[in-house]
Amino acid sequence: MATKEQALKALERYANAVQAIKDHIEDNPGVFKTHDSLVGVQIDADNNLRDIVSELGEGVTDGQYNVIVRNVNYETVDIGELDKLVDSGVLSKEVRNRLVKMTNRPAQITISQVRG
């Protein structure tokens, strides 16, 4: 199991890496201004492509890039409605517990700079 000391050391390494990037950007502003502009163009093109392919409903390829469309569907159950059925005696608590499963997902980790 990880220790708080390991986490703080990893955070220090992260902070040093972020500062190195900031220093490099400050030392080379022209390169990064062009980079920011190009990234903006790429983001616009990406969003446009996603919008069009979403409307088309199928993937495309040009031999260099594949754009894949995967429809994602989830079946859901209204837990409140199940509980009403249990409360009214239509459904037993045991059956409800067999039907309802909790899926543990990895914790969401957010790293942000503290603004002072």
52-86 b/e with 16+ CB inside 10 Å = b?
eeeeeeeeeeeeeeeeeeeeeeeeeeeeeebeeeb
User: In sequence order, which ranges of the chain are alpha helices (DSSP H)?
Assistant: 4-27, 29-56, 79-87, 93-99
Is the pLDDT at 106 greater than 90, yes or no? Answer: no
pLDDT for residue 54: 92
Is the pLDDT at 79 greater than 90, yes or no? Answer: yes
Q: How confident is the model at residue 60 (pLDDT cuts 50, 70, 90)?
A: very high
Give mean pLDDT, residues 77-82.
93
Is the pLDDT at 95 greater than 90, yes or no? Answer: yes
pLDDT for residue 73: 87
Give this prediction's pTM: 0.55
Structure tokens at 23: 């220093």
- Mean pLDDT of the residues in the chain: 93
Q: How confident is the model at residue 107 (pLDDT cuts 50, 70, 90)?
A: confident
